[in-house]
Structures are given as C-alpha cells and as structure tokens.
Amino acid sequence: MEKIKNLAKQNSHRLKFLLITGAIIGGINTLSRADYNLILYLYMYYIWHFMDNQKESQIQEKVSSFFFAFYSLIIDIIWCIFWGKKWNSLQKDSESTIHFIVIFLSWIGIIIKIISLFIICIVEWDFIKSSLPKKLQDKFNNGNKFEAFNDEE
C-alpha cells in the first residue's frame, strides 16, 4: 500500500493533465450529451492549479469538489449503462457513429475520473477524512489503530 501512496504522491502533478484531458473529453461529449463534466473538470483544474496553497477555505473547496466528482462518477456510470444499451438497440443510422463515440469517450472519461479521484484521495486524505461525519471518522481511526497494533507485533 505504501508503494501505491508514494506513486500517487509522486505523480500528483499529473493530476492537472488528467483534469484537462477530462475537460476535452467532456467537450467532445457535448455533441450528443448534455455533459456537465466539461465544467466539472475545468473547475477542478482551477482549484488544483490556482488554489494550490493550503488555506482553510481552499482546502474545503477541494474536499467539496472531490465529493461532487465522486457523486458524478456514479451518475456517469449509470448514464453509460442506460444509454449504451439504449443506443445499441436502435437502428443503425447517421447518428449511430456519434453515439458510439460519445459512449466510448464517456467510458474513457470515467476511467480518467477514477484515476483523478484516486490521486486526490491519496494526496488529500487527511482533509477528506476530517470532513466526514464523526462516526465514520472514528471507524477510520479505529481501523488505523488496529493496523498500527498489528504492525507492532
């Protein structure tokens, strides 16, 4: 697990590239989908590029955007499954090519969002954990104590 954490922290500067790539894919997807990902990725790029210092309000903004992106990931997956099946069952016509491209790029966008959220979660874990409800924080803290107890043996 430490190797993964170190790898994510070493490559956190590439997060900005992933966010711009996600925005480009979101822009292309607007050809056949009302895609909010264009705005979401541009906003997240702004937060991680221009609000990079550790002021309290900026940290809260980063944590809020993390949770919003996580919820949008769930919506994206549902959208791709529903419309992928729907558009594949339609008669092949002039719009079927653009539908295929949008579904394909949407799945790529989901992969980019998962990687981005993973990097953000690793890099900003302390702030994300502190924003969770108290009971959930206690569960994470108890799990960490349990892991630390096992390491001592």
Q: Which of 18-22, 65-69, 91-95, 144-148 comes out lowest in average pLDDT?
A: 144-148
Give the model confidence (pLDDT) of 52-97 as tens digits.
Answer: 666 666 777 888 888 899 999 999 999 999 988 887 777 677 777 8
Predicted pLDDT of residue 88: 76
Residue 16, classed as helix, strand or coil, is: helix
27, 38 Cβ separation under 8 angstroms? yes
At residue 43, φ and ψ (nearest 5 deg) are -65, -45
Predicted pLDDT at 74? 95
Length of the chain equals 153
Domain that residue 48 falls in: 2-152
From the DSSP assignment, how many helices (H) and strands (E) are in the chain? 7, 0
Q: How many CB atoms lie within 10 A of CB 29?
A: 22
Q: Check residue 144 and give its pLDDT.
A: 53
Instruction: Note the pLDDT tens digit of each residue in 104-136.
Output: 999 999 999 999 898 888 887 777 877 777 777
| Mean pLDDT value of segment 132-146 | 68
Query: Taking 50 as the threshold, does the pLDDT of residue 32 lie above it?
Result: yes
C-alpha separations of 63 from 40, 88, 139 in Å: 14, 37, 19
The answer to whether residues 119 and 16 touch, using CB atoms and an 8 Å cutoff, is no
Query: How many structural domains comprise the chain?
Result: 1
- Tell me the C-alpha to C-alpha distance, in Å, between residue 7 and each of 10, 69, 151: 5, 22, 22
Position 149 scores a pLDDT of: 35
